[in-house]
Copies of this chain bind each other. A is one copy, B any other.
């Protein structure tokens, strides 16, 4: 299998004595240039969100809860007796994806579906005593987590920061519809 002319993939053959290509002259130790990425709002938002979530996920793991499970417990606890689809919508979770989530909370004895007499297609969802207790623990755990996050924001700064995040969220979500 030998070729004479334009090798199909341009394989860089042997060093060919001194024939160091431009590619090989680079400094392999320098940190990579990320270009415009660090100045992009979305990139910065994503990195910060992942870093904050890593701490929250780790904290909730001690209760065997993931963030989505916590948010479901919280919203059911705050709105007992609402329909399953209302809880899902409030959290931006699609109805089909909510089923397994709810099944798991039910299996663990944390939440229950109860038939609605007024509409037999629907279920009202409520927390069990165990669910309320676990929710209370999770809220304490996440309050500590939130303190860890806010340690890195100057006093009073986090209010303005949260407002900015909410404004971006609302404004960009509107654009989305257009």
Main SS at interface, chain A: helix
CB contact under 8 A between A26 and B82, given known A32-B75, A167-B152? yes
CB contact under 8 A between A82 and B32, given known A117-B14, A117-B21, A168-B51? yes
What 9 A-B pairs are tightest by C-beta distance, nearest first?
A23-B81, A51-B172, A44-B165, A32-B90, A45-B49, A33-B78, A152-B171, A42-B52, A47-B169
Name the one of B49, B56, B142, B157 contacting A49, with C-beta atoms under 8 angstroms.
Answer: B49
Number of chain copies forming the complex: 2
Q: In residues 148-166 of chain A, which contact B (Cβ within 8 Å)?
A: 148-153, 157-158, 161-162, 164-166
Q: How many residues belonging to A are interface residues under a CB distance threshold of 8 Å?
A: 89
Measured in the bound complex, the distance between the Cα atoms of B161 and A40 in whole Å is 11
Name the one of B43, B45, B77, B78 contacting A48, with C-beta atoms under 8 angstroms.
Answer: B45
